[in-house]
């Protein structure tokens, strides 16, 4: 695409970007999904760390509670 191309919608100029995120999916000009995989893995790691913090603070939880916490924190990612 030429660098001097401009697009507009209802007299508003549309910004041309290299990548953007929509619903946790990273769209790039090249079409690669590496950014999406990186973002999702980062979210999953954050959830796992949060789960680990809960498990350290609440040592009297039963296994069923661990499964419920996992389902609520990690599984949605």
Query: What average pLDDT does this structure show over 5-14?
Result: 90
Output the pLDDT for position 13: 92
Q: Are 6 and 13 in contact (CB under 8 A)?
A: yes
Query: What average pLDDT does this structure show over 49-63?
Result: 75
Residue with tokens 């913090």: 53
Asked if residue 1 belongs to a domain, the reply is no
Asked if residue 31 belongs to a domain, the reply is yes
Alpha helices in 1-77 (DSSP H): 34-57, 63-73
Asked if residue 46 belongs to a domain, the reply is yes
Structural domain count, the chain:
1
Asked if residue 38 belongs to a domain, the reply is yes
Asked if residue 57 belongs to a domain, the reply is yes
Q: Are 49 and 38 in contact (CB under 8 A)?
A: no
pLDDT at 46 over 80: yes
What residue numbers bound the domain in which 40 lies? 7-73
CA angle 33, 34, 38 (to 5 degrees): 120
* Those residues with Cβ within 8 angstroms of residue 13's Cβ, 6 or more apart along the chain or in another chain: 6, 7
Q: How confident is the model at residue 77 (pLDDT cuts 50, 70, 90)?
A: low
């Amino acid at each position: 695409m030429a660098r001097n191309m401009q697009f507009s919608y209802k007299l508003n100029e549309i910004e041309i970007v290299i990548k953007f995120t929509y619903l946790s999916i990273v769209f790039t000009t090249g079409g690669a999904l590496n950014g999406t995989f990186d973002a999702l893995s980062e979210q999953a790691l954050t959830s796992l760390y949060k789960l680990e913090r809960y498990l350290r603070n609440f040592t009297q939880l039963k296994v069923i509670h661990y499964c419920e916490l996992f389902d609520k924190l990690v599984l949605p990612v």
